[in-house]
Amino acid sequence: MVLLTVVLMHLAPSDARAQWEPATFTELQPLNFGFIVPGPAGGTVTISDTGAVSVTGTITHLGGATNAQVLMDSCVGPGRNARRIILVPGPLSGPGPDIVLNQLTCTSPGRPTRVNRCRNFSGTAGNDILLIGGTITVPAGQTPGVYTGTFDITGRNRPPCP
């Protein structure tokens, strides 16, 4: 059995430009792919941004999966919210070969799911929650163990921010 999890996110503001201010992100719940048993042909495991699990190939999923939840501190007022939120996947490392985190999906308040990015136009301040999922590719014969990794999330606010 293999436990696959992304336990940390690298939460960082993006490059500051004259017309933008950094957004602030706080991890509320990590992205966790749960317990799986890779079969002879391997496959993929997808955790949707709402937490639904799907697998392909010869993988058996035994539960324990969660989507990531990230609190985004955005500015108040129309057109002043955090936007241009970028997600950058990284590999999962453990006792065997790295497992590829192919892509991340993100849903933000009032916006549809997008791949490796989000947009936010909710008009609220300090309490918008991003829901993040992802897809991994598990090779055939993957070494059992715990695999962890990180992904980057960055974003900017339109000024003025308090």
For the chain, the domains span 2-157
pLDDT for the residue numbered 1: 55
Higher-pLDDT residue of 26, 15: 26
* Category of 41 on φ-ψ map: left (φ > 0), alpha (ψ -120 to 50) or beta: alpha
Tokens of 38: 């890779």
Residue whose C-alpha is closest to residue 121's, from 22, 112, 132: 112
pLDDT for the residue numbered 8: 44
β-strand partners of 141? none
pLDDT digits (tens, 9 = 90+) for 68-114: 898 877 665 555 555 667 778 888 888 888 888 888 888 776 555 55
Q: How confident is the model at residue 14 (pLDDT cuts 50, 70, 90)?
A: very low
Higher-pLDDT residue of 138, 162: 138
Residue whose C-alpha is closest to residue 67's, from 137, 148, 6: 6
**Residue reference for tokens 């937490």:** 51
pLDDT for the residue numbered 101: 87
Three state DSSP letters for the chain: CEEEECCEEEECCCCCCCCCEECEEEEEECCEEEEEECCCCCEEEEECCCCCEEECCCCEECCCCECEEEEEECCCCCCCCEEEEEEECCCEECCCCCEEEEEEEEECCCCCCEECEECCCCCCCCCEEEEEEEEEEECCCCCCEEEECEEEEEEEECCCCC
**Across 11-25, 49-63, 136-150, which has the greatest mean pLDDT?**
49-63
With 90 as the cut, is the pLDDT of residue 153 above it?
no
Give the rounded percent of residues in the chain with a pLDDT score beyond 70: 62
